[in-house]
Amino acid sequence: MADPLLIVPFVLYLLALLGFGFVANRYMNSLDDFLLGGRSIGSGVTALTLQATSMSGFMFMGGPALAFKQGVWALWYAAGDFGGGLVNLGVLGRGLRQITEALGSLTPIEWLEDRYPHPSVRIVGATIAIVFLSAYVFAQFIAAGKAIEAISGLPFLYGLLIGAGIIVLYTFVGGYLAVAWTDAFQAIVMAVGINLILVSGVLSVGGITPLFDRIAAKDPTYLSIWGKGLEHAGEFGVIAGAVLIYAIGYMGLPHAVVRHLSMKDAETTKKATVWNVFYNTFFVYQPYLLGLLAIVLLPNLGDPEMAIPTLAFQLLPTVVAAIVLAALMAAVMSTADSLLIMAGSILSRDVIQRFSRRDLADRQMLVWSRALVLAIGVAGIAVAAVQPPGIFELVIFAFGGLGTAFLVPNVAGVYWDRANWPGALAGMVGGAGTNIVWTAWNLQEPTAIHPFFAGLVLSVASLVVVTLLTEPPDKEVIAEIRAARDAIGAPAGTAEKSSPSLAPEATAIAKHLERVSEPTAPPTSRGNHPTAD
């Protein structure tokens, strides 16, 4: 059994997460509250939850491992990631917040059908989202189980039951609000943990310049922008993909995009962009720099993915190392909870209610949503325990598949009025399909083009060409979108009226917005919900 000095802070940390769930539960009255936190999330929490959700356990394991193997080349990913949240908020944030409230869309897939009115958009969108989000959930659960196994010495199955069980429990109890609060808390834990270890590591090698000098002494190509051994020399398509995958890819992830829908008001975007960049200054480059540090301090490291935990044990006192390990868990859990509630939301709202039980009242939908979160969580634990063959292959496609499927239809939906449903469908299938084929057949090697970049180009091309070859969208829909997008804030009472978000009410609100040809009243304040900022 591991050191109690390590275990106690870690257990307290897990209990704190559960506490967030039970506190959030006190504010939950409706479906809107469970799925979107009552659209009450403030700028600070929005910025942190967006970033924590977007960056999974990859930041603590995959990122440092890449830097350990490839040297400073790995920093191309950090370069794009630094602006990922900002781009997401700046491009989609305000527009999506206003339009989705006016249309009454509660999930990113529902928004797509509201913007591109055709059932096939929802069917294809929900299918892609559920398959990839579920695979992603399983992978994060496995990572949580392994992290607890490494820390406590407990068998993997117990680690899985504890780690995943806590995620499922607080998500089930507290809904989206619990997810947003725990994400914000975990984002801070992550930043503190990673900087503690980075500072002590850099000090131990005598500073930044000695660090790079010692890396260069091992192999000068570690410091090349083309990768160790100049492996990616001249591959501009690969570098563009590495930067773009995180700089713009988040705009396609449903569990990241839903952060725009849940903001308190469109005004929240402004402060959230600044908070996001501020946070990234203290977090995004650091894991990769730790990978570089490991080249010097842990030259014989067997598993590069364990660079951060190994450095933590080597450089820090046990109690402080516990914070770093809690941060590692935070990276995994903050993504897993968002994936879980997103998958549950899409299944309940976009599948059950949309195609099977349209007559369900808000209250019944709340029960369905909770039940589905629980069911996916339990299924996820079962799958993670068994680890069936093929599950990891599915995960490899998940991020790129989601990003390239939804990014272009999301952006076109806000900015290009001519975009129509056949185009959106082509963009989704073309983007995700290309990404999958590119990854499965390893086309990056012969073409020197990153799968994400290829998927993005094909998605744009498919959406534009098919849109221009087919009928323009209904003028009424576009007028609704335009009016909502151009308003400074929704008319007083819009938020309350659209909370139940049933289609007729949402349409009435949208029509009202259409009639308003001038800027409207300032955004409404939601008195019946806590402000999570």
Partner 1 sequence: MSVFGLPLGTFLALFFWIPFWWLIAGLSLYRMNKHDREKRRAGTASRRRRSIARED
Q: Contact residues for partner 1 (CB under 8 A)?
A: 72, 75-76, 78-80, 82-83, 86-87, 89-90, 94, 208-213, 216, 223-225, 269-270, 273-274, 276-277, 280-281, 285, 486, 488, 517-520
Residue 186 CA: distances (Å) to CA of 109, 150, 247, 261, 422: 27, 20, 22, 21, 40
User: Residue 87 Cβ, how far from partner 1 at the closest point, in Å?
Assistant: 8
User: Residue 292 Cβ, how far from partner 1 at the closest point, in Å?
Assistant: 11
**Beta carbon nearer to partner 1, 209 or 356:** 209
Say how far apart CA 318 and CA 9 lie, in whole Å: 10
User: Residue 210 Cβ, how far from partner 1 at the closest point, in Å?
Assistant: 7
User: Residue 52 Cβ, how far from partner 1 at the closest point, in Å?
Assistant: 18
User: Residue 498 Cβ, how far from partner 1 at the closest point, in Å?
Assistant: 21
**Beta carbon nearer to partner 1, 314 or 520:** 520
DSSP alpha helices (H): ranges in 153-253? 156-204, 208-218, 236-247
**Beta carbon nearer to partner 1, 93 or 377:** 93
**Beta carbon nearer to partner 1, 256 or 312:** 256
User: Residue 204 Cβ, how far from partner 1 at the closest point, in Å?
Assistant: 16
**Beta carbon nearer to partner 1, 94 or 450:** 94
Extract the tokens encoding 330. 């935070």
**Beta carbon nearer to partner 1, 67 or 144:** 67
Checking 114-117 for CB contacts under 8 A at 24+ apart, the result is: 114/506, 115/413, 115/424, 115/477, 115/481, 116/409, 116/413, 116/419, 116/420, 116/421, 116/423, 116/424, 116/425, 116/473, 117/421, 117/473, 117/474, 117/477
**Beta carbon nearer to partner 1, 493 or 519:** 519
User: Residue 224 Cβ, how far from partner 1 at the closest point, in Å?
Assistant: 7
Nearest-10 crossing angle of helices 421-440, 391-415: 150
